[in-house]
Amino acid sequence: QVQLVESGGGLVQTGGSLTLSCAASDRTFSSYGMGWFRQAPGKEREFVAAINWSGATTRYADSVKGRFTISRDSAKNTVYLLMNSLRPEDTAVYYCASTTKTYGVMLRADGYVYWGQGTQVTVSS
């Protein structure tokens, strides 16, 4: 069973940058597609970014494309989300998640099996 732990959240000013990390508990993580999602209070959890098992293929929500970068270091069992040009609208709890698929990328929350507990990102105006 894969356990995911997010870190790196915090308070940042509009236009600033922040990098989130997601550490996985075991080696099976390196075989799976991964994703980042976020959820603001009173709103539905939404897709942010996804990456395939090798890191060669990435996908982004339109709202973050060009500003956020997802990457992974399989040797460290860690996936990252680099967030640039942050806006107040990016304020949310950010979650990392893992599929059990060994190919492709997943864009829907119901396609993910394992979830972290989330880390708060707050962007001040």
Residue with tokens 């270091």: 73
Provide the token pair at 101.
């698929």
* Residue pLDDT tens, the chain, 125 long: 679 999 999 999 999 999 999 999 888 888 999 999 999 999 999 999 999 999 999 999 999 999 999 999 988 999 999 999 999 999 999 999 999 988 888 899 999 999 999 999 999 99
Sheet strands (E) in 33-124: 34-39, 46-51, 58-60, 68-73, 78-83, 92-98, 114-115, 119-124
What DSSP element (H or E) covers 105?
Answer: none
